[in-house]
Amino acid sequence: METKEEAAAFLSDLMRRMNQQDNRGTATPYFYVVQTERWQPVHDEFHSGETRTCRVDFEGDPTTFHSKEEFLQSLAYYEGTKTEAEIDAHWENLQEVVEGKYTEEENVFFTQDAYDEHIRLNGHNLRRNPHYSYIKHAFRNPELSEMFRAIGVLVGEPWKEH
């Protein structure tokens, strides 16, 4: 966008879309958040969320395996180089680790449409697949509320607070 008219048209359309979308019962202002899951090693006694056990091969680059089948699939590249006894011994020597599940916020959007378009175009670049759009509010954020009100006034499309 290069002109005031183009900027005003964008802001007017943004305000219209924000006013028309479902707020999912969340106070304004709010954002649609790309939320993903991440697993990382934890001490199982000090993590209150979901955990899982895995084994880690620290030879070379650390590699995590969540099942013996997954481990055996990784060895398919080296077929014939180890006996079954060597493979079993290697599996037994892997360090057992507990992983805890965490959520991360990857990005935020003013509209569900922008969130959906971002996932369509860029979802393959996310470190982990997003599992849903989450709405996070900025309730009682006077700067953001005033900014949306000001945009609405400037473009003739008043911001509707829910």
pLDDT over 70 percentage in the chain: 93
For the chain, the structural domain boundaries read 1-29+138-162, 40-100
The mean predicted confidence, pLDDT, of the chain is 86
Specify whether the CB–CB gap between 128 and 38 falls below 8 A.
yes
Q: How far apart are CA 93 and CA 55, in angstroms?
A: 9
Q: How far apart are CA 116 and CA 110, in angstroms?
A: 11
For 85-132, what is each residue's pLDDT tens digit? 888 888 999 999 999 988 888 889 999 999 989 888 888 777 666 666
Lowest-confidence range among 12-16, 100-104, 129-133, 158-162? Answer: 129-133
The model's pTM: 0.67
DSSP 8-state code for residue 22: -
SS3 category, 149: helix
